[in-house]
Amino acid sequence: MSLKIEDIRHAYNGKTVLRNINLEVQSGEVICLLGPSGCGKTTLLRLIAGLEELQSGRIQVNEQVFADGHRQMPPEQRGIGFLFQDFALFPHLTVLENTMFGLSSVKARAERRNRALNALQQVDMRDFASVYPHELSGGQQQRVALARALAPNPGIMLLDEPFSSLDARLRVQIRDQTLHVLKSSGVATVMVTHDPEEAMFMGDRIVLMHQGRIIQSGSPVELYSNPINAFVTTFFSDVNVIKGTVHDGRVETDLGVLFARDIEEGGQVEIMFRPEAVQVFQDDPKLQCVAVAAQVQATRLLPGATLVHLRLASAQTENGDIHLHARVPCVFPMPEGAKVYVHVPADQFHIFPAHSSSS
């Protein structure tokens, strides 16, 4: 099974909200559409579902055309399962009846019942078959909604911010379960989220969108480690930014000399690096690497890491001292005011022409 989206463009009231959208999703793959509010993620999902009429381009599954300039297959014929933010369970139907509802095309009631029970088993909710939705927690309701969507055995699953109504701890647990259920069902999944961590957790591939365009798509590792511009770099995490000017294909910075061969002579650049790329030493690691002196301004223990605020006395910038964030594993032993040494490996720098952050 392969969902193929070719050259989609879409406008509302003459205002273009999607352009040049090309995408392919295979069975068993989870693709996350990621981007800031209003970038067009939900519109793209609605076009795949057939809830919005396609204006230009083509959507097909294997050789079957869902929509192009001439045809629009109705949503119910597309074999698509949906999971939306509000779960939309029917309050007057039990968990089993809600799950059977998705199987209305199956004639025999006994088979509908069996398939619904199997789907509930998949999400570990079979014991709740006779319970009504209001008796369930948010996470349990989400699992029933997932079972209802998967029961007809759809080729494609569309998820729109499916965890956003759950509180933070439950969200982590439910998205983990959801990922395993989706993966074991082998369905091709397209999920919308505006949360980069969620996209990295769920996605085999991430499609990062901005202002109606795909800016970069690839594995989470590709986008995180090889972002193509400042927008992609900053979308995924807090980043340190220092500025510089290119001379002879190089930029001199307080953290060393960096190569910037692709940028024109005299060009202003923004040099970005993630807090976890900053290595902090208590003593000068002279033989290991070239490190520069810095002062600890503050430390904050976060889940799984300590964020260290550092001040670097700058010889390069007119603006004075540089403030850096380092993310170090474990509890950081140095007090505020302590002198430390900082090193950032050369391959951790992302260098872009200045003011390119909009895409």
Task: Indicate whether 40 belongs to the interface with ligand ATP (CB under 6 A).
Answer: yes
Q: How far is the CB of 34 from ligand ATP (least distance, A)?
A: 9
Torsion of CA 14, 36, 72, 81, to 10 degrees: -160
37 contacts ligand ATP (rule: CB under 6 A): yes
Instruction: Assess 35 for contact with ligand ATP (CB under 6 A).
Output: yes
d(CA 340, CA 212): 45
Alpha helices in the chain (DSSP H): 41-49, 95-101, 109-122, 138-150, 168-185, 196-202, 220-225, 230-236
The whole-angstrom separation of Cα 325 and Cα 302 is 13
Q: How far is the CB of 201 from ligand ATP (least distance, A)?
A: 18
> Which of 215, 245, 220 lies closest to 231 in space, CA to CA?
215
Binding residues among 290-349 for ligand ATP as defined by CB under 6 A: none
- The nearer residue to ligand ATP, 96 or 214, going by C-beta atoms, is 214
Name the residue nearer to ligand ATP (CB basis): 21 or 230.
Answer: 21
* Residue 14 sits in the site that holds ligand ATP (CB under 6 A): no
Instruction: By CB under 6 A, tell whether 38 contacts ligand ATP.
Output: yes
From the list 37-45, 58-66, 257-265, 297-305, the region that binds ligand ATP by CB under 6 A is: 37-45
Q: Given the complex with ligand ATP, which of 43 and 94 has the nearer CB atom?
A: 43
Cβ-proximal residues to 280 (8 Å cutoff; 6+ apart), any chain: 294, 308, 310, 326, 328, 332, 334, 340, 341, 342
35 or 133: CB nearest ligand ATP = 35
Min dist CB 194 to ligand ATP, Å, is 5
Nearer to ligand ATP, 193 or 240 (CB): 193
With tokens 């503050």, the residue in question is: 298
Name the residue among 81, 105, 76 with its Cα closest to residue 156.
81
How many residues touch ligand ATP under the rule CB under 6 A: the total is 12
Residue bearing tokens 């909200």: 17
Closer by beta carbon to ligand ATP, 43 or else 140: 43
Parallel, antiparallel, or unpaired: how do β-strands 268-273 and 2-12 relate? unpaired
Residue 41 touches ligand ATP, criterion: CB under 6 A? yes
Interface characters, 168-207, with ligand ATP (x: CB under 6 A):
--------------------------x-------------
Q: Does 43 bind ligand ATP (CB under 6 A)?
A: yes
Near ligand ATP by CB under 6 A, which window of 35-43, 77-85, 138-146, 272-280?
35-43
Instruction: State residue 95 phi and psi, 5-degree precision.
Output: -55, -45
Which of positions 236-275 make contact with ligand ATP (CB under 6 A)? none
In the complex, minimum distance from the CB of residue 306 to ligand ATP, in angstroms, rounded to a whole number: 32
Contacts of 213 (CB under 8 A, 6+ apart): 19, 20, 21, 359
Binds ligand ATP (CB under 6 A): choice among 42, 141, 185, 189? 42
**Could you tell me if 190 and 161 are in contact, meaning their C-beta atoms sit under 8 angstroms apart?**
no
Cβ partners under 8 Å of residue 91, min gap 6: 132, 133, 134
Shortest distance (Å) from residue 177 CB to ligand ATP? 24
* For ligand ATP, the closer CB: 35 or 203: 35
* Least distance between ligand ATP and beta carbon 39 (Å): 4
Binds ligand ATP (CB under 6 A): choice among 2, 4, 16, 17: 17
- Laid out side by side, the sheet with 256-259 consists of 256-259, 250-253, 240-247, 268-273, 350-353
Query: Of 37 and 105, which has the nearer Cβ to ligand ATP?
Result: 37
Q: Is 279 exposed, middle or buried (0-12, 13-18, 19+ CB in 10 A)?
A: middle
The residues that touch ligand ATP, with contacts defined as CB under 6 A, are 12-13, 17, 35, 37-43, 194
